Amino acid sequence: MAVRKPKTTRGKKAKGPSLESLQALAEEMNEEMGLDPEMDAELDDAEELKAIILTNCYDGDECEIYTTDEFSEEALGTLKELGVDPVDPEMEEEEEEEEEAEADLTEDEIKKMKKDELLELIEEQELDVDPAKNKTLAKLRAAVLDAVFPEEEEEEEEEEEEELPTEEEIEDMKKPGLLELIKAQDLDVDPAKNKTLAKLRAAVLDALYPEEEEEEEEEAPKKKAPAKPAAGKKTSAKKTVSKAPRYSRAMAFAEALLETKGEEAAMEDLVNRCDEIYCEKSGRGDDGSNERESKWICGLGMSILATLELAEVTDGTVTYSA
């Protein structure tokens, strides 16, 4: 394969301004721009001098040659040949003001924008917003607001929040564990007022998992005004009738306990049976169901039996003393 020879420019006239024009331009730039150090206007290498001139025409991407500079027509022509377009300072100032105005957009101004204005803002500011995914005006506004005013991410706390123990875990806790939990979570529980283990557990449960107070369904019957006795008739004295005590969960616990007939029973079954008996005997039905209260009363009852050495709870199983 034959090797191609490189094309040569020998004998051809180089394109661009002449060396003399470049030297004259360099001299004018030294004077007009007050360059320090100055360019060597007597440099006899056209390409090197052109590179030096272009370097001094720009500061980064910003052109440093202005229409207000007093360059000669010849110098301006040479600049044009080099592709340098002098900047109008007034136009540059207006552009800067527009950019500042865009940067100073407020949230309220964006909220008042129509779709066309929002699309224009997205294009001008090159926002990372896809109008196709935000078809409604409200969604588009929200996306633009998020892009222009990004919320600062909250710093994650070094220590992760400790998960609260479940109700079942609290039920299995001993006194030291409960006291430690009260201190760690700063619970409004006074151990001095809850001396027994069952009471302390119940107080901790109420503090960590407060239940909304149940609304009383039964309204007190309105008292009827006593009828006036007929003339000449004596009113007989009313007989006082003693009211029977209301059925309580303690009674339900006692009945559930008796049903075990002294045999081993799971504490969970005892609690469930206590709750069932209370709902049935109190007349409240399913509305009377409250597993937490049943747990508490059963726990209290078993603590009393354990103190009297009549029964004990081991691994959730109730056993009675012989």
**pLDDT, greater one: 299 or 95:** 299
Say what the pLDDT of residue 27 is.
Answer: 92
Its pTM stands at: 0.29
Give the number of other Cβ atoms within 10 Å of residue 11's Cβ. 5
Say what the pLDDT of residue 231 is.
Answer: 53
Residue 95 lies in a domain: no
Q: Is the pLDDT of residue 240 over 60?
A: no
- Contact between residue 163 and residue 184 where contact means Cβ atoms under 8 Å apart: no
Q: pLDDT band at residue 18, thresholds of 50, 70 and 90?
A: very high
Say what the pLDDT of residue 221 is.
Answer: 53
Q: Is the pLDDT of residue 137 over 90?
A: no
Residues 78, 118 share a domain = no
Q: Mean per-residue pLDDT for 58-80?
A: 88
The values of phi and psi at residue 291, to 5°, are -60, -35
Q: pLDDT band at residue 40, thresholds of 50, 70 and 90?
A: very high
Residue 12 lies in a domain: no
Residues 299, 259 share a domain = yes
Residues 33, 82 share a domain = yes
Residue 153 lies in a domain: no
Residue 139 lies in a domain: yes
Q: Is the bond preceding residue 89 a cis peptide, omega within 30 degrees?
A: no
Residue 196 lies in a domain: yes
**What is the C-alpha separation between 20 and 77, in angstroms, rounded?**
13
> Residue 128 is part of which domain span?
105-148
Mean residue pLDDT across the chain: 79
Reading the block at residue 251, the tokens are: 């009674």
Q: What is the pLDDT of residues 79-102, one digit of tens each?
A: 999 999 988 878 766 666 666 555
Residue 39 lies in a domain: yes
Q: Is the pLDDT of residue 150 over 80?
A: yes
**What is the C-alpha separation between 267 and 278, in angstroms, rounded?**
17
Q: Mean per-residue pLDDT for 230-252?
A: 61
Q: pLDDT band at residue 9, thresholds of 50, 70 and 90?
A: very low
Packing angle, helices 46-57 and 19-33, rounded to 10: 30
Q: pLDDT band at residue 216, thresholds of 50, 70 and 90?
A: very low
Residues 313, 257 share a domain = yes
Say what the pLDDT of residue 224 is.
Answer: 54
The tally of domains found in the chain comes to: 4
Residues 85, 56 share a domain = yes
* DSSP symbols for 217-264: -SPPPPPPPPPPPPTTPPPPPPPP-PPPPPP-HHHHHHHHHHHTTTS-
Residues 262, 200 share a domain = no
Residues 86, 63 share a domain = yes
Q: Is the pLDDT of residue 3 over 80?
A: no
Q: Is the pLDDT of residue 195 over 70?
A: yes
Residue 4 lies in a domain: no
